[in-house]
């Protein structure tokens, strides 16, 4: 069984640390500041959900201790939005959330949501005002190979698994290509994540996403946002970034069978064509 502990991060907020993976959840700024800035604001969830005539669908990948999901619930409650949201959280284990609920008072952000979290853990589903929250205890890599018919395609993906260093298979080109393939082409979708890695951005772009710079969080001056439709990006990657990729010693995409190094010529040509095509479209 994986072990977890409470840690106080630089901002003074309390968060979880996985002893197995050696990683702190939402380091530096803490769970709520990162989740709100990176995911809720980064994907403009409240604004986009309010414009959506049907329920706005969120895939919360890496439920963990539910900080990202709770940030969505908090934002909906604080905004007074009447938008309907269907949130589907994925994780192969409930252990971090079970640990977090036992320490809800210390963590703070869970206290007002203890009842729905307990319901979610017990039954896999919780109704929270205008949000319908589901928990799928499964391997997300397997899910994208054969998505369940009862899970609608997302409008936003909060992508927060462990890092590529300890959970590489959740960041590979093969995995992201399968994820991209199961999205609805008629439903514009964003994917927010905490990475600023060149290789992760290259991987997402080669998988078929448009990719841009995300907002700052903690010690990171930028993060990453990907999208199925380029117009969802405030700052798409461009020629300057592409030049850095060409110079980088770790610009290659993350593949299941190959470690990152310099980007192969054929991969670089694909990126170059994508960015040049986007420039032409904007002229």
Write the CATH number for 73: 3.40.50.150
Q: Is residue 212 part of a domain?
A: yes
Q: What is the pLDDT of residue 217?
A: 86
Q: Is residue 239 part of a domain?
A: yes
Strands (E), 97-235: 125-128, 131-137, 156-159, 190-193, 210-214, 223-227
Q: Is residue 15 part of a domain?
A: no
Residues 275, 270: Cα–Cα separation, whole Å = 9
Q: Is residue 167 part of a domain?
A: yes
Query: Is the backbone of residue 28 left (phi > 0), alpha (psi -120 to 50) or beta?
Result: left
Q: What is the pLDDT of residue 274?
A: 92
Q: Is residue 12 part of a domain?
A: no
Whether residue 121 has pLDDT greater than 50: yes
Which is it for the CA torsion 85, 123, 118, 147, positive or negative? negative
Q: Is 253 exposed, middle or buried (0-12, 13-18, 19+ CB in 10 A)?
A: buried
Strands (E), 30-121: 56-61, 85-91
| Domain enclosing residue 96, as ranges | 28-282
Please state, rounded to an integer, the average pLDDT across all residues of the chain: 94
Q: What is the pLDDT of residues 127-137, one digit of tens each?
A: 998 999 999 99
Residues 246, 241: Cα–Cα separation, whole Å = 9
pTM of the model: 0.96
As beta bridge partners, residue 39 has none
Q: Is residue 9 part of a domain?
A: no
Q: Is residue 6 part of a domain?
A: no
Q: What is the pLDDT of residue 257?
A: 86
Q: What is the pLDDT of residues 55-96, one digit of tens each?
A: 999 999 999 999 999 999 999 999 999 999 999 999 999 999
Query: How many domains does the chain divide into?
Result: 1
User: If you average pLDDT over residues 171-195, what whole number do you get?
Assistant: 97
> What SS3 state is found at 24?
strand
Q: Is residue 18 part of a domain?
A: no
Residues 224, 201: Cα–Cα separation, whole Å = 7
């Amino acid at each position: 069984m994986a072990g977890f502990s409470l840690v106080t991060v630089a901002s003074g907020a309390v968060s979880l640390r996985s002893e197995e993976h050696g990683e702190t959840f939402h380091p530096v700024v803490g769970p709520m500041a990162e989740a709100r800035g990176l995911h809720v604001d980064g994907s403009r969830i409240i604004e986009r959900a309010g414009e959506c005539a049907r329920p706005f669908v969120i895939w919360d990948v890496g439920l963990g201790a539910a900080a990202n999901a709770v940030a969505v619930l908090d934002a909906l409650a604080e905004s007074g939005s009447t938008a309907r949201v269907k949130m589907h959280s994925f994780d192969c284990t409930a252990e971090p959330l079970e640990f977090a609920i036992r320490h809800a008072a210390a963590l703070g952000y869970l206290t007002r949501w203890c009842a729905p979290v307990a319901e979610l853990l017990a039954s896999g589903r919780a109704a929270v005002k205008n949000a319908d929250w589901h928990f799928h205890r499964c391997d997300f890599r397997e899910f994208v190979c054969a998505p369940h018919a009862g899970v609608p395609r997302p409008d936003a993906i909060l992508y927060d698994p462990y890092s590529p260093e300890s959970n590489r298979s959740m960041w590979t080109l093969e995995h992201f290509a399968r994820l991209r393939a199961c999205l609805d082409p008629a439903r514009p979708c964003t994917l927010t994540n905490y990475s600023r890695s060149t290789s992760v951005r290259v991987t997402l772009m080669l998988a078929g996403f448009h990719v841009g710079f995300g907002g700052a969080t903690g010690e990171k001056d930028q993060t990453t946002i990907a999208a199925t439709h380029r117009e969802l990006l405030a700052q798409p990657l461009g020629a300057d970034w592409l030049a850095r990729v060409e110079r980088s010693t770790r610009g290659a995409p993350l593949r299941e069978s190959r470690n990152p190094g310099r980007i192969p010529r054929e991969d670089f040509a694909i990126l170059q064509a994508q960015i040049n095509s986007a420039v032409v479209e904007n002229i």
